[in-house]
Chain A
Amino acid sequence: MLAFTIRRLSQSVVVLFVMSIIVFAGVYAIGNPVDILINPEADIAEQEATIKRLGLDKPLWVQYGAFMSNALQGDLGNSFVHNVPALEIIFARLPATLELAILAVGLAIIIGVPLGMIAGLKDDSFIGKTIMTGSILGFSLPTFWVGLILIMFFSVSLGWLPASGRGDTVDVFGIPVSLLTWDGLSHLFLPAFNLALFKMSLVIRLARSGTKEVLLQDYIKFARAKGISNARIICVHVLKNILIPVITVLGLELGNVIAFAVVTETVFAWPGIGKLLIDSIANLDRPVVVAYLLLTVTMFILINFVVDILYSVLDPRVRLGGSN
């Protein structure tokens, strides 16, 4: 396990380094932030002074070198747009995205697993077929369109839920959380549901095929023969055994949601990091884009790591195989 961890970590460092070069060069290639940020009324002398002040007159490799030496000291640079450290901006926005992502994945599990099991148990019934058809919709409808439809229906027509933004928050250990107020939850629900739709469909399909497979296993037949109630068989024996693939996939999906909830955050004006990324790319706010992507890579590495461990906890065979 230790050797595995060390190898994993050293790979991560290389990945981070390569990412930093790619991202830095990529944003550099798109354009010069000054072209976007500076007021067009500035004359040539003012434009040049600004370029110099922000260090953008130096060649790419010099800029990268300066960035790297700062980054090694934990400083990923100041945002060109906001003049505060890039990491600070990202961490200020992170809680909003995290709670959105967690609620979305939560919804996907709470709704998706039972529906998937029903579909698996009643494969040929009307209900089972309806659920499966619904999951196809969840896969194929574009997120922004569903988001707008949700807004039009629940906010504009019915007036039940707010259309955009984040509601009241409560500070928990200095982190603003909107899960704890009614206003916050009401703002959270639609975007979280929108984000959950795709994942829900994924979970339904996984749970259905898992259920169908498990139902044919000998231990289920044996449990039935022993006279164990149907409810217990389903809630304990089936459920536990279909969760492994669900957790693997959702672990990776959680990373995706955190890193790329861009569309949902844009449609619902949710002040998370996805929206920050889009705005930063539009403004060529290089330090923020680079810091964001480096953080994302780090996060994926970590999530994969945790998934591997969870996996071995749920399925002893993995653990045994790993130690061989």
Chain B
Amino acid sequence: MKLRNFGLAASALAIAFTLPVAAQAANLTMGMDSEPSSIDPHYHNLGPNNALRRHMFESLTGQDEKQKLYPLLAESWKPTSETTWEFKLRKGVKFHDGSDFTAKDVIFSACRVPNVPNSPSSFESFTKAIADFKTPDPYTLIVETDGPSPLIPTYFANWGILSSTAAGVTGDIKYDKENCGLDNFPSTVDFNSGKAAIGTGPYKFKEFVKGDRLVMEKNDGYWGDAAEWDVVTMKPITNAAARMAALLAGDVDFIAAPPTQDLKKLEEDPKFDVAQGLSNRVIYLHMDQYGPTTNGITGTGKADAKYEGEGPCAEKECEKNPLLDVRVRQALSKAINRDAIVQKIMGGVAVAAGELLPQGFFGTNPGMEPEAYDPEGAKKLLAEAGYPNGFELVLGTPNDRYINDAKVAQVIAQMFTRVGIKTSVNAMTKSVFFKTRNKYEFSVYLAGWGAGTGEMSNPLRALVGTRSKETGLGGTNRGRYSNPALDEKILTALKTVDDAQREAILQEASRMAMEDYSILPLHFEVTSWAHRKGLTYAARADQYTLATGVHATK
């Protein structure tokens, strides 16, 4: 039989090629829930890429587990005037190719950031405040900004530094907003092949096989504490059940985002452990507060005025928008039993939210409580607002984006229905959800927000600032809430370099946004990681999964 012969030949070959597998204690294999789209640190401003970047390409400042800044390639920094910052750079730092790190590399990297072809999400937002760089000596960097820019040190934690020498730059670089007269930036492809993947980080690029694995090895010349693992392998296993199985089978030592229903089992298992921490991601409800009519609400009757502007109501007849009335928004908030959601739906891996960032983050109001559950109060408010019999509402939600997103929406729909607002849920996959939301088709929708900067100006600016190209506010304000007084506060905060003053302004702005029920925060997600016994992981508020945070217990 030919087939049988083939089988024999195959097994003979297999034995011939068998390689001894040496057990190495200092290797770490991680199962990741998503894959970076590129090794290029300036290509795609998105979670998995940013997390990966931190292993190989360092930035001037770093953000710790609670997103507090700490010195990295810059030893110290301070504002020297309203529009200048002085960074003292670390000496004796070497890139993976052996070249020295100086201020020139920072300027080179800042020049490249806006010049990455086809970038689907640019890092330019972190560099565009820069007007010019001055370098009195190679280890002092003066950053001049267009107007006061208090978040410069935070922004500088978000883009990685490349080696200008490795890119073949010989002379000095004169900074400008275009490309600094340079045209030989390394390409994204060169990073993915490892050719240009030269940073200063504790780990060096070794291998990247898209869809299968990313391998990094220890950088022996690292300036700081040596990396703990000789080789780190990151495997994208996007299916949660498969990721869990890989951990149980011992294929991987560590996984990101274990399935919530398995957490209890993992905690009780003597072979595994779970690391958990409060994230900066708030799950919220946005409410359409734009026109006199709205798309997803019926039973409110004809509106007093005509709808003008973007959205489905510009093309068809819609009914009156009750969400313009603050009493209705407050009633919605009171109708939600946040504690029940946290306990019953989230299984305890969430914390009820009273603001857009968890307590203790910069700009939050100490002691601010989540809205208390008060269905009777909600009914009363609805009656006062002129809706004693309520109305009908469609609640939009993605079903594959946030932890238990569609389930949470279902429960909220029941809670709304209980106070008289007959609510149905329209759940859809994230790509369709975001498109529908961006066309303003939802009157109320559930979504989430993670504050990349870890302070209050970030969610306020994006979620409740009036949408405007000029001010840069309202990028994700798809409820189109608008309050000029609040805008004023946010913009002032963004220009106040003094930390204490800025914090006070942000606290007040946050209070204003909450008191006006501009947006309804629901809860903060608790992020989980699981690993075999003998490891520890410091849970991060930014939800990044970092090999540098995984330690072996001694």
Complex CA distance for A158 and B9, rounded to whole angstroms:
27
B:195-216 near A, CB below 8 Å: 209-213
Contact residues of A with B, CB < 8 Å? Answer: 30-50, 53-54, 78, 80-84, 89, 92-93, 96, 109-110, 148, 151-152, 155-156, 159, 162-166, 168, 170, 179-183, 185, 235, 266-269, 271-272, 275-276, 279, 281-284
25 residue pairs A–B, Cβ–Cβ below 8 Å: A31-B434, A32-B434, A32-B435, A36-B430, A38-B121, A39-B452, A40-B476, A41-B462, A42-B45, A42-B122, A43-B472, A43-B473, A54-B118, A84-B189, A93-B210, A156-B249, A163-B248, A164-B249, A165-B213, A181-B17, A267-B239, A269-B246, A271-B211, A275-B238, A276-B211
- Name A179's closest neighbour in chain B (CB-CB): B10
Q: Is the CB of B124 within 8 A of A269?
A: no
Choose one: A46, A48, A181, A283; the contact of B125 (CB below 8 Å): A46
Residues in B whose Cβ lies below 8 Å from that of A152: 245, 248
Residues in A whose Cβ lies below 8 Å from that of B431: 30-31, 35-36, 281-284
Q: Is the CB of A89 within 8 A of B210?
A: yes
- Which residue, B31, B237, B472, B475, has most C-beta atoms of chain A within 10 A? B475
Give me the 4 closest cross-chain CB pairs, A-B, nearest first: A31-B435, A271-B211, A155-B249, A271-B212
Separation in Å of the B20 CB from the closest CB of chain A? 10
Residues in B whose Cβ lies below 8 Å from that of A39: 45-46, 121, 125, 452
Residues in B whose Cβ lies below 8 Å from that of A156: 245, 248-249
Residues in B whose Cβ lies below 8 Å from that of A45: 469, 472
Known: A151-B242, A151-B249, A180-B17; 17 extra A-B contacts, CB below 8 A, are A30-B432, A41-B45, A41-B475, A42-B45, A43-B462, A43-B469, A44-B472, A80-B120, A92-B210, A148-B242, A164-B243, A164-B245, A165-B213, A183-B21, A269-B235, A269-B238, A279-B211
Q: Is the CB of A182 within 8 A of B19?
A: yes
Residues in A whose Cβ lies below 8 Å from that of B452: 39, 41
Complex CA distance for A275 and B238, rounded to whole angstroms:
9
Report B468-481 CB contacts with A as 1/0, cut-off 8 Å. 11001111100000
B: contact size bracket: 35 or more
Residues in B whose Cβ lies below 8 Å from that of A166: 212
- Name B233's closest neighbour in chain A (CB-CB): A165
Residues in A whose Cβ lies below 8 Å from that of B192: 82, 84
Known: A47-B475, A164-B245. A42 touches B121 (CB 8 A): yes
Complex CA distance for A170 and B237, rounded to whole angstroms:
22
Q: Does B15 count as interface, using CB distance less than 8 angstroms?
A: yes
Stretch from B36-44, B256-264, B383-391 forming part of the interface with A: B36-44
Q: Does B458 count as interface, using CB distance less than 8 angstroms?
A: yes
Q: Is the CB of B462 within 8 A of A53?
A: no
Known: A44-B469, A155-B251. A267 touches B435 (CB 8 A): no
B:422-470 near A, CB below 8 Å: 429-432, 434-435, 438, 449, 452, 458, 462, 467-469
Q: Is the CB of A151 within 8 A of B458?
A: no
Q: Is the CB of A181 within 8 A of B18?
A: yes
Known: A45-B472, A181-B14. A165 touches B212 (CB 8 A): yes
Separation in Å of the A188 CB from the closest CB of chain B? 10
Complex CA distance for A38 and B475, rounded to whole angstroms:
11
Complex CA distance for A163 and B251, rounded to whole angstroms:
7
